[in-house]
């Protein structure tokens, strides 16, 4: 299990930002501006929309359907960028820490990565996660939720320079990433809460997700 | 020839009564008679003797009866198939395997997708990697699992699944059976069993026999034949480590820079995936192909010994 800390994701974010190099800041500012200017977040599914169905393999190649995941209660679905991103790994550790709280209110938690092959398995092992990590092979689910974007060339150059080969990690020649997003979906497949943030350093706090879950449960 | 005409004729043939045949086909007797007459015109002769008290098949009628029965059965099978497709009751998935790729590798992925794809019907085909690529492009197979492939067309998508080494398979009584590993000098002095159309031999030849020719012994196009020959002490097989092998064979790793290969999954770029193919590609691209896991997860009734598992 990852070390539980009392830090919020906002506090962890502040710490991680202090480690940014000039090149990191330049790339970060460019990508967030590009995403806002391109209006990518406007395409994302919103509260009240019907969540698209999916069938995805987990890190061990076992299939899970959305139908099955929300059979017994609401589903918390969180899109993250990959095991290479420190903001994602911080979020995953925070979600791992809150997993029992989600389950105690009858919810199921699944996180979705664009990474394939051994990468999701290795991520789970390295962070000691027992979360359900689903692999969005060829980006179909992120696309259907409207949270997918093609990585702009400047960002691609920056990440390549850091040694991140998304082609190998995703098993695709296209370099695409999801905007980090967290959805609460009720048993009928309706989206009850949507957190979509083009600034990839900002993630929904688990406490806020729990509040959304309780609201969703009280309305159903 | 129309199917309703065939159905009318078969009804008359079974009842030998035009009135009952018309009732059975839920049409009027004149309509049934007209249909049979058209069939007779098309087949060039009378099929039924129509006498007041006696209706019976002519020699031509008797001759064409089995053929027309098969025609109707076949047409109904096609229609049933179409209905099943519409209701997604049949989900065909044709997977091509290169000769050195064991079918045991795809059993667990197939078992996994069968849980979610009702009516899954898998057909496995073995062929050379080059021929499998052509079969993919022609739509004869949906996916292929191959070893090293030269000159892949742009229209083919390929994903690396895993890398595997080569090992030696031999009888416990073979002179090399007590070695912990087998080196190139040993291989030069050893009779190797030869698989017809082997897709990995060029690489083995390049790695081990570039200066000295291999001593090739008996051959076969089937791995099991070769394994029985190896178990009988006729020679050594060099095989990929995932290949299942007879429990009577010893598995010994090769010494030094081992030959290895990348096993890849292929599908046609841009072609719409069926639910079965989509699930297969996704599971294959996430599966842990390391030998221990692959061996553990093969459905138990089918589990063979995998070459590297005891190496």
B156 forms beta bridges with B268
CATH architecture, domain A9-219: 3-Layer(aba) Sandwich (3.40)
CATH fold of the domain at B164-260: D-Maltodextrin-Binding Protein; domain 2 (3.40.190)
Report which of residues A193 and B101 the model is more confident about: A193
Question: Which residue's entry shows tokens 């460019």?
Answer: A30
Residues A60, B296: Cα–Cα separation, whole Å: 13
Contact A116 B285 (CB under 8 A): yes
Higher per-residue pLDDT: B83 or A214? A214
B3-86: which CATH topology? Arc Repressor Mutant, subunit A (1.10.10)
Q: How confident is the model at residue B295 (pLDDT cuts 50, 70, 90)?
A: low
Q: Beta strands B55-57 and B48-50: pairing type?
A: antiparallel
Q: Which residues partner with B166 through β-bridges?
A: B240
pLDDT of residue B307: 52
% of chain B surpassing 90 pLDDT: 38
Q: What digits encode the pLDDT tens for the residues B233-261? A: 999 998 888 887 899 999 998 887 667 88
How many CB atoms sit inside 10 A of residue B86's CB?
Answer: 9
The pLDDT tens digits of the residues spanning B131-167 come to 999 999 999 999 999 987 778 898 999 999 998 888 8
**Taking the alpha carbons of A25, A27, A31, A37 in that order, is the dihedral positive or negative?**
positive
Least confident stretch, A154-168, B90-104, B240-254, B289-303: B289-303
Q: B180-187: which pairs have CB atoms within 8 A and are 24 or more residues apart?
A: B180/B252, B180/B253, B181/B252, B181/B253, B181/B254, B181/B255, B182/B252, B182/B253, B182/B254, B182/B255, B183/B254, B183/B255, B183/B256, B184/B208, B184/B255, B184/B256, B187/B214, B187/B236, B187/B238, B187/B254
Residue B221 or residue A186, greater confidence: A186
What tokens were used for A28? 């970060």
B164-260 matches B91-162+261-304 in CATH topology: yes
- Neighbour-count burial for A107-127, b at 16+ CB within 10 Å, e otherwise: bbbbbbbbbbbbbbbebbeeb
Phi, psi for B296 (deg, rounded to 5): -65, -35
DSSP conformation class of A162: T
- Residue A165 to chain B, least CA–CA distance (Å): 15
The residue behind tokens 């027309």 is B68
The per-residue pLDDT for B259 is 75
Across the interface, whether the CB atoms of A55 and B116 are under 8 A apart is answered yes
Instruction: Work out the angle at residue B298's Cα, subtended by the Cα atoms of residues B198 and B275, and round it to the nearest 5 degrees.
Output: 85
Structure tokens at A180: 């980090």
Among A62, A63, A120, A125, the strongest candidate for a mutation testing the B interface, having the largest count of B CBs within 10 A, is A63
Chain B touched by A137 (CB under 8 Å):
yes
A34 burial (CB, 10 Å; 0-12 / 13-18 / 19+) is middle
From A22's Cα to the closest Cα of chain B, the distance in A is 36
Task: Spell out which residues of chain B touch residue A57, defining contact as CB-CB under 8 Å.
Answer: 282-283, 285-287
In chain A, which stretches have pLDDT less than 70? Answer: 1-5, 220
- Chain A segment 151-180 residues within 8 A of B by beta carbon are 171
DSSP letter for each residue of A163-174: T--HHHHHTSSS
Asked if A61 lies within 8 A of B116 by C-beta distance, the reply is no
Quote the CA–CA distance of B300 and B294 in Å, as a whole number: 12
The structural domains of chain B, with segments of one domain joined by +, span 3-86, 91-162+261-304, 164-260
DSSP one-letter code for A201: T
User: For an interface test with A, which of B112, B113, B143, B286 has the most A Cβ atoms less than 10 Å from its Cβ?
Assistant: B286
From A170's Cα to the closest Cα of chain B, the distance in A is 10
Residue B77: per-residue pLDDT: 62
Please tell me the CATH superfamily of domain B91-162+261-304, with its number.
Answer: Periplasmic binding protein-like II (3.40.190.10)
Domain residues of chain A, as ranges?
9-219
Which of A137, A138, A169 should be substituted to probe chain B, the one whose Cβ sees the most B Cβ atoms within 10 Å? A137
Contact call for A137 and B116, based on CB within 8 A = no
- Return d(Cα B95, Cα B112) in angstroms, integer: 15
Q: Among candidates A159, A155, A164, A136, which has minimal Cα distance to A66?
A: A136
Residue B147 has a pLDDT of: 87
How many Å apart are CA A77 and CA A69, to the nearest integer?
10
Rounded to a whole number of angstroms, the distance from the CA of B121 to the nearest CA of chain A is: 18
DSSP secondary structure string, chain B? --HHHHHHHHHHHHHS-HHHHHHHHTS-HHHHHHHHHHHHHHHTS--EEE-SS-EEE-HHHHHHHHHHHHHHHHHHHHHHHHHHHHTT--EEEEEEE-TTS-THHHHHHHHHHHTTSTTEEEEEEE--HHHHHHHHHTTS-SEEEES--SS--TTEEEEEEEEEEEEEEE-TTSTTTT-SSB-HHHHHTSEEEEETT-SSHHHHHHHH-SSS--EEEEEES-HHHHHHHHHTTS-BEEEETTSEE-TTSEEEEBPSS--EEEEEEEEETTPPPPHHHHHHHHHHHHS---HHHHHHHS-GGG--EEGGGG-
Q: How distant is the alpha carbon of residue B136 from its chain centre? A: 13
Query: CA nearest B275 in A: which residue?
Result: A55
pLDDT score for B201: 77
Distance of CA A175 to the CA centre of its chain: 17
Phi, then psi, of A79 in degrees rounded to 5? -85, 130
Least confidently predicted of A53-57, B73-77, B285-289: B73-77
User: Which residues on adjacent β-strands are paired with residue A15?
Assistant: none
């Amino acid at each position: 299990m990852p070390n539980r800390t009392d830090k919020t994701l906002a506090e962890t974010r502040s710490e991680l930002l202090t480690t940014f190099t000039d090149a990191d800041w330049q790339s970060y500012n460019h990508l967030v501006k590009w995403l806002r200017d391109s209006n990518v977040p406007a395409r994302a599914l919103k509260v009240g929309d019907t969540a698209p169905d999916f069938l995805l393999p987990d890190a061990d190649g076992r299939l899970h359907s959305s139908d099955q995941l929300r059979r017994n209660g609401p589903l918390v679905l969180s899109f993250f960028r990959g095991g290479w991103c420190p903001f994602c790994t911080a979020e995953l550790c925070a979600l791992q820490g809150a997993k029992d709280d989600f389950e105690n209110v009858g919810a199921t938690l699944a996180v979705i990565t664009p990474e394939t092959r051994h990468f999701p398995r290795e991520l789970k092992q390295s962070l000691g996660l027992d979360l359900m990590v689903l692999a969005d092979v060829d980006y179909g689910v992120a696309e259907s939720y409207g949270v997918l974007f093609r990585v702009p060339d400047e960002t691609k150059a920056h990440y390549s320079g850091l040694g991140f080969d998304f082609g190998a990690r995703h098993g695709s020649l296209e370099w695409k990433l999801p905007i980090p997003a967290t959805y609460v979906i009720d048993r009928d497949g309706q989206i009850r809460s949507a957190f979509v943030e083009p600034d990839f350093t900002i993630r929904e706090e688990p406490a806020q997700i729990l509040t959304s879950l309780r609201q969703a449960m009280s309305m159903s | 020839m129309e199917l309703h005409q065939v159905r009318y004729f078969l009804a008359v043939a079974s009842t030998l009564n035009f009135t009952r045949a018309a009732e059975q086909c839920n049409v009027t007797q004149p309509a049934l008679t007209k249909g049979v007459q058209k069939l007779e015109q098309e087949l060039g002769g009378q099929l039924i003797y129509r006498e007041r008290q006696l209706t019976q098949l002519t020699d031509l009628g008797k001759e064409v009866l089995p053929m027309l029965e098969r025609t109707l059965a076949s047409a109904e099978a096609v229609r049933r198939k179409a209905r099943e497709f519409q209701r997604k009751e049949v989900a065909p998935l044709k997977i091509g395997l290169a000769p050195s790729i064991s079918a045991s590798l795809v059993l667990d992925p197939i078992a996994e997708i069968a849980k979610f794809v009702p009516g899954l019907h898998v057909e496995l085909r073995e062929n050379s990697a080059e021929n499998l690529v052509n079969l993919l492009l022609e739509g004869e197979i949906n996916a292929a699992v191959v070893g090293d492939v030269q000159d892949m067309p742009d229209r083919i998508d390929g994903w690396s699944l895993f890398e595997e080494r080569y090992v030696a398979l031999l009888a416990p009584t073979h002179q090399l059976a007590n070695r912990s590993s087998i080196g190139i000098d040993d291989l030069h002095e050893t009779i190797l069993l030869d698989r017809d159309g082997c897709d990995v031999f060029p690489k083995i030849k390049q790695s081990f026999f570039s200066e000295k020719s291999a001593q090739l012994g008996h051959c076969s196009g089937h791995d099991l034949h070769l394994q029985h020959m190896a178990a009988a002490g006729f020679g050594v097989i060099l095989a990929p480590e995932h290949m299942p092998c007879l429990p009577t064979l010893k598995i010994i790793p090769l010494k030094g820079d081992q030959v290895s290969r990348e096993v890849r999954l292929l599908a046609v770029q841009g072609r719409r995936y069926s639910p079965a193919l989509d699930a297969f590609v996704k599971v294959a691209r996430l599966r842990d192909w390391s030998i221990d896991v692959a061996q553990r997860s093969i459905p138990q009734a089918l589990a063979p010994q995998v070459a590297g598992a005891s190496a």
